[in-house]
Amino acid sequence: MQIPGENIDLLMRLIKVVIVDDRHPMRKVVRALLMSIGAKQIFEAGDGVSGLEAICTVAPHVVLLDWDMPGMSGAEFVRAVRSPATFPQPDVPIIMLTGHGERSCIIEAEHLGVHEYLLKPVFGQTLLNCIVSVMVKPRPCVQIGDYYGPEPRKLSTYKPDDPLLGNTVAFGAKRTFSEPRL
């Protein structure tokens, strides 16, 4: 789906974003990045507890969250937010913006209910695309057992038509064979 540029500009001017990161220089960098892509209503929190308070006070459209913070970590922050019985805004979209690219962190963040996961350093266009995706094509929050968070993405059910290919097609790569594989 293509969204006209003027609509994206308007969206970015209107949304409220909370940055939760313990490092002040990083908050300044993320703020500058957000301003460069058109965001005007930017709020900062230097720790998890202040971030939770900011969500309650500001009612943001998006939260940008660091993973590794002293006191309340990013994971603990998400657990607190994704508690509909005790937190007033459990559905707020959370984009994890962190330097931790370990698979274990990404999987844990997904299981906790993070909408998106971006690695620092991030390009402005990447952040813009991510924010627009979360805002324009929101996944509703659902309760599935102990999980509360954005509805899990559907896995692709694509099956290649060529019986010779079987399960050899990965990530859109097209393979053709002149003879069956042995």
> What local confidence, expressed as pLDDT, does residue 141 receive?
95
Residue 172 belongs to some domain of the structure: no
Task: Please give the C-alpha separations between residue 55 and each of 5, 89, 90, 120, in angstroms, as whole numbers.
Answer: 28, 7, 10, 23
Return mean pLDDT, the chain. 87
pLDDT band at residue 153 using 50, 70 and 90 as cut-offs: confident
Residue 161 belongs to some domain of the structure: no
Residue 180 belongs to some domain of the structure: no
Residue 174 pLDDT > 50 = no
Q: Which domain holds residue 62?
A: 5-150
Sign of CA dihedral 85, 89, 92, 96: negative
Residues 48 and 78: their CA atoms lie apart, in Å, by 9
> What local confidence, expressed as pLDDT, does residue 6 receive?
80
Residue 157 belongs to some domain of the structure: no
Identify which has the larger pLDDT, 161 or 88: 88
Residue 171 pLDDT > 90 = no
pLDDT band at residue 3 using 50, 70 and 90 as cut-offs: low
Task: Please give the C-alpha separations between residue 16 and each of 26, 100, 135, 152, 162, in angstroms, as whole numbers.
Answer: 18, 25, 11, 25, 49
Residue 107 belongs to some domain of the structure: yes
| Contact call for residues 94 and 114 (beta carbons, < 8 A) | yes
For 16-49, write each residue's pLDDT tens digit: 999 999 999 999 999 999 999 999 999 999 999 9
The CATH number of residue 80's host domain is 3.40.50.2300
The predicted model gives 50-78 an average pLDDT of 97
Residue 164 belongs to some domain of the structure: no
Residue 8 pLDDT > 60 = yes
The predicted model gives 76-91 an average pLDDT of 97
Residue 117 belongs to some domain of the structure: yes
Q: Based on the structure, what is the number of domains in the chain?
A: 1
The predicted model gives 44-62 an average pLDDT of 98
Residue 180 pLDDT > 90 = no
